Amino acid sequence: MTLKNKLFIFFRGKMKGLICVIVLGSISISNAISQNAIPLSIDVFFDKIKAAHPLAQQASVQNDIADAELLKARGKFDPVLSGSLNQKNFADKEYFSLLNSEIKIPIWPGLDIKGGYEINRGAFLGPEDNTPAGGLAFGGISISLGQGLLIDERRAGIRTAEILQKSASARQSELMNDLLFEASIVYWEWYRAYRVNEIYKLSLKNAVERFEAIKFNAAIGERPEIDTVEAKIQIQNIRVGLNQAMMDYRNAGIILSGYIWENENKNSEPDSTYIPQDLNQPESDLDELMSEPNLIKLIGNHPYLEQIRQKSTSWTLKES
Secondary structure (DSSP) of 56-106: HHHHHHHHHHHHHHHHHHHGGGS-EEEEEEEEEEETTEEEEEEEEEEEEEE
DSSP state letter for 76 = G
**Range with top average pLDDT, 152-166, 172-186, 223-237:** 223-237
Per-residue pLDDT, 197: 93
Provide the 3-class DSSP secondary structure of residue 267: strand
Mean pLDDT of the region 131-136: 85
Of 109 and 232, the structure prediction assigns the larger pLDDT to 232
Per-residue pLDDT, 157: 66
Mean pLDDT of the region 205-229: 90
Mean pLDDT of the region 268-296: 64
Of 146 and 244, the structure prediction assigns the larger pLDDT to 244
pLDDT band per the 50, 70, 90 thresholds, residue 3: very low
Mean pLDDT of the region 208-218: 91
Residue 29 has pLDDT above 60, yes or no: no
C-alpha triplet 61, 66, 69: angle, nearest 5°: 125
Per-residue pLDDT, 37: 76
Per-residue pLDDT, 122: 84
Per-residue pLDDT, 299: 65
Whole-model pTM? 0.60
Average pLDDT in the chain = 76
Out of 17-26, 105-114, 119-128, 280-289, which region has the weakest mean confidence (pLDDT)? 17-26
Residue 131 has pLDDT above 50, yes or no: yes
CA pair distance 7, 219, nearest whole angstrom = 17
Q: Identify the bridge partners of residue 118 per DSSP, sorted by sequence position.
A: 100, 136
Per-residue pLDDT, 265: 61
Provide the 3-class DSSP secondary structure of residue 17: helix
Class of residue 251 by CB neighbours under 10 A (exposed 0-12, middle 13-18, buried 19+): middle
Mean pLDDT of the region 17-24: 43
Per-residue pLDDT, 66: 76
CATH of domain 77-143: 2.20.200
Secondary structure (DSSP) of 170-206: HHHHHHHHHHHHHHHHHHHHHHHHHHHHHHHHHHHHH
Per-residue pLDDT, 276: 87
Out of 25-29, 205-209, 236-240, 261-265, which region has the weakest mean confidence (pLDDT)? 25-29
Out of 24-38, 235-249, 283-297, which region has the weakest mean confidence (pLDDT)? 24-38
CA R_g for the chain: 39
CA pair distance 204, 54, nearest whole angstrom = 42
Could you tell me the residue ranges of all domains in the chain?
A: 3-53+156-319, 77-143
Of 92 and 318, the structure prediction assigns the larger pLDDT to 92
Provide the 3-class DSSP secondary structure of residue 220: coil
pLDDT band per the 50, 70, 90 thresholds, residue 282: low
Phi, psi of 212 (to 5 degrees): -65, -40
- pLDDT tens-digit series, residues 239-260: 999 999 999 999 998 899 888 8
CA pair distance 10, 146, nearest whole angstrom = 104
Give the percent of the chain with pLDDT over 90.
20
Out of 66-75, 76-85, 191-200, 243-252, which region has the weakest mean confidence (pLDDT)? 66-75
HSE toward the beta carbon, residue 128, CA cutoff 13 A: 0
- Tell how strand 111-121 and strand 136-143 pair up: antiparallel
Phi, psi of 80 (to 5 degrees): -120, 125
Mean pLDDT of the region 282-302: 62
Q: Identify the bridge partners of residue 238 per DSSP, sorted by sequence position.
A: none
Provide the 3-class DSSP secondary structure of residue 139: strand
